[in-house]
Structures are given as structure tokens and as C-alpha cells.
């Protein structure tokens, strides 16, 4: 790090910048987890709504009885 940083940046990083870098990584991890959780929640909701509103005669997993005909 000392090869690519100027003296001012190197001193400031040693005094308190390392803590900020750690918090920024933690914040980005939280943001990623929230976004992924939102995507999973939306997909689960779509699956539940699709299963609830589907006509039984059109389902692949449940045999349809045609006793009413």
C-alpha cells in the first residue's frame, strides 16, 4: 500500500480509514443481502399467486377428474 499511496493518504488511512473501509464492506454486504431477499420474496409471491389462481384442469402435477362431464 505504501508504494501507491502518497504520504498524506497513507497517514490518514492508518489513523482511521481502515475502519471506514470495513464499514463500507459491511454496508455493501447488507445491501446485497436485502436485494437478494427482495428478489426471492417476489419470486415466492409469484409462485404462490400462480398456483392459487390456476385452473385445476391446466395443472401438470394434479390429475384432473372429469367426473363432471
pLDDT tens across 11-49, in order?
666 666 567 777 888 999 999 999 999 999 999 999 888
pLDDT digits (tens, 9 = 90+) for 60-69: 775 666 665 5
Q: What local confidence, expressed as pLDDT, does residue 12 receive?
A: 62
Q: Any idea what the Cα angle at residue 29 is, between residues 4 and 2, rounded to 5°?
A: 10
Q: 34: exposed, middle or buried (C-beta count within 10 Å: 0-12, 13-18, 19+)?
A: exposed
pLDDT at 38: 98
E strands, the chain, in order:
none
Query: Nearest 5°: CA angle at 59, between 57 and 65?
Result: 40
Separation between Cα atoms, residue 66 and residue 11, nearest integer Å: 80
Average pLDDT over residues 49-57: 75
* pLDDT at residue 29 in the model: 95
Amino acid at each position: 500500500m505504501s508504494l501507491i499511496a502518497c504520504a498524506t493518504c497513507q497517514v490518514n488511512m492508518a489513523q482511521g480509514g481502515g475502519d471506514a473501509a470495513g464499514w463500507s464492506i459491511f454496508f455493501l454486504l447488507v445491501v446485497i443481502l436485502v436485494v437478494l431477499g427482495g428478489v426471492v420474496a417476489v419470486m415466492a409471491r409469484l409462485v404462490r399467486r400462480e398456483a392459487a389462481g390456476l385452473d385445476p384442469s391446466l395443472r401438470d402435477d394434479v390429475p384432473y377428474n372429469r367426473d363432471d362431464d
